[in-house]
Structure 1
Amino acid sequence: MKDKSYSALSNAALRAAESYYPEDERLFYDGAAFYLMPPLWKLFLKLIKFSPLREMIFAKRDKELPGVIGNLLYRTRYIDDTLRENLKEMEQLLILGAGFDTRSIRIEGLENLEVFEVDHPETLSKKKKGLKKLYQDLPEYLNLVEIDFEKRDLNEVLQENNFDKNKKTFLIWEGVTQYLEREAVDKVIDYFAELKSGSRVVFSYVKKEVVVGSERSEVDEKIISFVEEMGSPWKTGLKSSEIEEILNSRGLELIEDVGKDEYQKLYSDLSSREISIYDGERIVYAVKD
Structure 2
Amino acid sequence: MGAQFSMFVREWLFIRTSILRSERNVRSFNAEAVCGARYVMTKLPPPCDLPISERAAIARFISYRYWWLVQLYMLLPTSWLIRLIQWSDKWKGGGAASIFARTKLVDKLIQDGVEAAATDKVPLQLVILGAGYDTRWHRFAGLRKQHAVKMFEVDQQAVQQDKLSLMKHRSVDPASYEDVRFVSCDFNTESLESVLLDAGFVRGQRSLFIWEGVTMYLTEEGVAATLAAVRSLSVDSTITFDYIDKALIDGAVDPFWSRVVEMMKRNKTPITYGIVKGEVNKMLKQHDFEVVHHWDHEDMRDHFLRDAEGRPFGDCSRFGAFVQARPIKR
What TM-score does the superposition give when structure 2 sets the normalisation length?
0.77
Higher alpha-carbon deviation: 215-224 or 279-288? 215-224
Aligned alpha-carbon RMSD (Å): 2.6
Please list, as runs of the form range in 1=range in 2, the aligned pairs for 1:224-263 lying within 5 A after superposition.
Answer: 224-263=261-300
Which aligned segments of 4 or more residues in structure 1 are displaced greater than 6 angstroms?
Answer: none
More helix by share: 2
Higher alpha-carbon deviation: 169-178 or 8-17? 8-17
Amino acid at match of 2:323: V
Q: How many residues align?
A: 286
Pair 1:284 & 2:323 matched: yes
Q: CA deviation at 1:100?
A: 0.9
Q: Which runs of 5+ in 2 are unaligned?
A: 1-23, 118-122
Q: If you compute each CA radius of gyration, which structure gives the higher value, 1 or 2?
A: 2
Contact 2:105 2:304 survives alignment (8 Å): no
2: distance between equivalents of 1:251 and 1:110? 30
Deviations 1:58-85 (A, max 9, x none): 4675355321121111111111111111
Higher alpha-carbon deviation: 4-13 or 47-56? 47-56
Tell me the equivalent position of 2:205: 167
Deviations 1:152-207 (A, max 9, x none): 22112222222222221100111111111211121112222114233121011111
Please list, as runs of the form range in 1=range in 2, the aligned pairs for 1:18-57 lying within 5 A after superposition.
Answer: 18-21=41-44, 23-24=45-46, 26-29=48-51, 30-31=54-55, 32-51=57-76, 54=81
SS in 2 for 1:254: strand
Contact 1:27 1:74 survives alignment (8 Å): no
2: distance between equivalents of 1:146 and 1:181? 18
1: distance between equivalents of 2:227 and 2:89? 32
| CA gap 1:98/1:260 in 2 versus in 1, 3 angstroms | same
1: distance between equivalents of 2:230 and 2:295? 19
1: distance between equivalents of 2:83 and 2:184? 38
Aligned counterpart in structure 1 of residue 144 of structure 2, from 107, 110, 117: 110
2: distance between equivalents of 1:239 and 1:141? 39
Please list, as runs of the form range in 1=range in 2, the aligned pairs for 1:8-23 lying within 5 A after superposition.
Answer: 8-21=31-44, 23=45
Amino acid at match of 1:153: S
Residue identity over aligned pairs, in percent, reads: 21
Q: Highest relative contact order (Cα 8 Å, sep 6+), 1 or 2? A: 1
Contact 1:25 1:270 survives alignment (8 Å): yes
SS in 2 for 1:141: coil
2: distance between equivalents of 1:25 and 1:117? 26
What TM-score does the superposition give when structure 1 sets the normalisation length?
0.87
